[in-house]
Structures are given as C-alpha cells and as structure tokens.
C-alpha cells in the first residue's frame, strides 16, 4: 500500500528532490501529467533522472499540449488498481486535479498549495470554484503565510500545515568565499510582465554607478534590452549548473515580482551565501528576516528601493553575509519533509 499517491504537473528538479526525500520515509507513487513544458527557466530545470520512487508518466510531451482525456482515463485505472492512504494533488487548476479529488473520499484528499492571496482571484465564479474544490480537501500543505492567507480568505475548514517550501533545490559543491560589497546586483528569472523586470531596468538606468546582471529569457527580452543602459548586462539563458559563478560574483539578488507564488532562486542564492532583496508579494519572503539575511520591500516604489540600496555599504553588507550564513537551508528542508508525516 502506498502512503501517498502524488498527482503533479511535471518533474521539476526541485519537486524530484523533495519526492526523493519523502520516499525515504514513505512509500509513494508520483504521477506526472506530462514530462515537459514551454515555460521553464532552463533545459535542465526538468529531469526524470535519479528518481528513487515509483512514478508514472501520463503524457510524453509538453504539459500545454497534453491529452487531458487520456490522462484522466489513466488516473481512473491507477485509482482502481492501487491501494493508498492519501492522495496529494499539486493544485486546483487542472481537470486532472479535479478528477482526483472527486474520485477519492475527502478523508484521503490532500492539497499542496503553492498559490498565494496575491495572484488568486477569490471572488465571483473563480472564488466559488476554489471553495468547492477545497470542500473536497481534508488537509492542505501550504507553503507559507501568504498561502495560508488565501485559505483563510476562502474560509477553508480543514487541517493546514505550513511547509516553508515548494521543493528542495540542488546543492552542488560551493566555495566559502570572502565577499566585499561592490554594488553588483543580480536578477534570475523569466522576462515576463509579472516578474516586474521593467521596474529594475528603470531603477538601474538611474543608478549608473551600480551594475545589474540579468539572467533569463522571455517575451520581454528584446524590449527590455533596448531600454537598458550600459550598466545593465543581459546574459540570456544560463543552465542551472552554471549559475554558481553568478551567485558568487555578485552581491545581492533581487526578486521584484508583482506576484510570485514562491521564488526558488532566492533559496539558491541563500545557499551560495548571497543576501537577497525580495518583493513583499513573494511567497519566499517566509525565509527572509528583514535587515538580517536580506530585505523585504515594496517594488512599486522606486524611492523605497533606492533608499534601501543607498544604505548598503561594506560594513552592513558584512552583517548581511553573517545573517545569510546563520540561515540553515538544510533545517528548512528537514521541516518541509517532516510536514508530510501521516498521523
């Protein structure tokens, strides 16, 4: 008998890492609805290598092009064939999610909630549908406070566990280097509207003594590149395994998103000893102590961000580095895995 059957979208590396850790404690079967997507940070963001758990792949190809009807028929067969204690779905946006929670008894149904109060519509028909979905869920694993706020808004009555994460990052060998503040800032992510990169471009265009390195591609790449001055450097696509040098050779990473369900790149930066500056609308703010290992700021106000940047000097930068050093990502990951204990 499986402790969990987990229904999720695609094999993102950080999900695979989490499931590998869960498999050390539980017997799990992971069902991936597809094995690729059009929307990924890099080609090595997705992997079916080194999976230490049972899994099934419903559709071989891009998630956006999957055969939903065939996927549901496969789920129907799986639910009839295997015995399991809990079913864990990774959202409420797909027909596969809905089928899973309707087909199973509410007492078995669990939700891994990565949506937050910021980007989720809780009014009208969309709000009604979310409440209906939650009425079929007995236990929700919410990533953080912004996710719990969404459940409160939707008047969810089931059990809630805060996991403090959406997965587990890769942890390659790292160098403990001596850092001095050199006014070098970094952004890593998709160049799309919700990431609010245009705000950074406009900001650093007015701060020409500072440098901003931008890693990533997306629909706004050419438009943003045309607007940027010479102190803003676009690196385009960079594989995950090659990001290490950028974390080590820049001073502060920025995540200015209008809305961000988590922000895994912030965990990666902290792992490599890098202070962070995140939008108050990012779920990953759960891990940030303002002024200790980074800053939580309103990225709609240029004045607010400029004031923060201008206060950083080498002395207080060293304090930030100590705050980052004191933060334990391993402790966070242990908490995340333990959150899924079955009572």
DSSP string, 123-184: SHHHHHHHHHHHTT-SEEEE-SHHHHHHHHHTT--SEEEE-S-SS---------------SE
DSSP for residue 208: T
> For residue 58, is it within any domain?
yes
Residue 38: pLDDT band with limits 50, 70, 90 = confident
Compute the average pLDDT of residues 37-58.
85
**Residue 279 in tokens:** 């939008």
Confidence at residue 227, expressed as pLDDT on a 0 to 100 scale: 97
Flag whether pLDDT at 154 surpasses 90. yes
Compute the average pLDDT of residues 46-66.
94
Flag whether pLDDT at 289 surpasses 70. yes
Torsion (CA) 285, 281, 321, 41 in degrees, nearest 10: 100
Claim to verify: residue 163 and residue 22 sit in the same structural domain: yes
> For residue 176, is it within any domain?
no
Q: Is there a contact between 65 and 321 (Cβ–Cβ < 8 Å)?
A: no
CATH number at residue 87: 3.40.50.2000
Claim to verify: residue 12 and residue 160 sit in the same structural domain: yes
Claim to verify: residue 125 and residue 243 sit in the same structural domain: no
CA distance 143 to 72: 27
Q: What domain range includes position 52?
A: 2-167+332-338
Residues 6+ apart with CB under 8 A from 101: 87, 89, 109, 111, 133, 136, 137
Claim to verify: residue 247 and residue 146 sit in the same structural domain: no
> For residue 69, is it within any domain?
yes
Q: Which of 180, 221, 170 is nearest to 198 (CA)?
A: 221
Residue 2: pLDDT band with limits 50, 70, 90 = very high
Flag whether pLDDT at 191 surpasses 80. yes
> For residue 174, is it within any domain?
no
What is the reported pTM?
A: 0.93
Between β-strands 54-57 and 84-89, what pairing exists: parallel, antiparallel or unpaired? unpaired
Residues 6+ apart with CB under 8 A from 18: 165, 167, 168, 336, 337
Claim to verify: residue 158 and residue 226 sit in the same structural domain: no
Q: How far is CA 325 from the centre of its chain?
A: 22
Claim to verify: residue 160 and residue 270 sit in the same structural domain: no
Claim to verify: residue 123 and residue 58 sit in the same structural domain: yes
Residues 6+ apart with CB under 8 A from 219: 191, 192
Q: Which helix (H) or strand (E) holds 254?
A: strand 252-255
Q: Is there a contact between 279 and 196 (Cβ–Cβ < 8 Å)?
A: yes
Flag whether pLDDT at 54 surpasses 90. yes
């Amino acid at each position: 008998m499986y402790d969990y059957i987990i229904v999720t979208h695609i094999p993102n590396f950080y999900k695979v890492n989490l499931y590998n850790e869960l498999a050390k404690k539980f017997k799990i079967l992971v069902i991936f609805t597809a094995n690729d997507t059009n929307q990924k940070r890099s080609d090595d963001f997705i992997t079916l290598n080194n999976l230490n758990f049972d899994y099934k792949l419903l559709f071989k190809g891009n998630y956006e092009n999957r055969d939903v009807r065939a996927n549901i028929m496969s789920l129907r067969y799986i639910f009839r064939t295997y015995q399991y204690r809990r079913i864990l779905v990774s959202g409420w946006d797909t027909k596969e999610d809905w089928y899973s929670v309707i087909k199973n008894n509410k007492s078995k149904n669990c939700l891994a909630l990565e949506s937050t109060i910021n980007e989720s519509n809780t009014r009208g028909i969309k709000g009604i549908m979310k409440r209906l979905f939650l009425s079929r869920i007995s236990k929700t694993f919410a990533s953080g406070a912004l996710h719990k706020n969404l459940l409160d808004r939707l008047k969810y009555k089931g059990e809630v566990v805060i996991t403090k994460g959406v997965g587990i990052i890769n942890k390659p060998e790292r160098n403990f280097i001596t850092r001095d503040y050199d006014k070098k800032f970094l952004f890593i992510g998709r160049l799309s509207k919700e990431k609010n990169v245009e705000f950074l471009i406009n900001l650093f265009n007015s701060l020409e003594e500072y440098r901003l390195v931008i890693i990533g591609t997306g629909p706004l790449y050419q438009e943003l590149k045309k607007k940027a001055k010479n102190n803003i450097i676009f690196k385009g696509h960079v594989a995950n395994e090659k990001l290490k040098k950028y974390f080590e050779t820049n001073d502060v990473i920025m995540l200015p998103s209008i809305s961000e369900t988590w922000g895994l790149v912030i965990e990666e930066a902290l792992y490599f000893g890098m202070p962070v500056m995140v939008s108050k609308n990012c779920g990953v703010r759960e891990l940030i102590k303002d002024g200790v290992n980074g800053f939580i700021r309103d990225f709609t106000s240029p004045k607010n961000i400029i004031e923060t940047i201008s206060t950083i000097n080498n002395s207080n930068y060293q304090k930030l580095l100590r705050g980052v050093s004191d933060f334990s990502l391993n402790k966070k990951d242990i908490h995340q895995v333990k959150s899924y204990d079955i009572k």
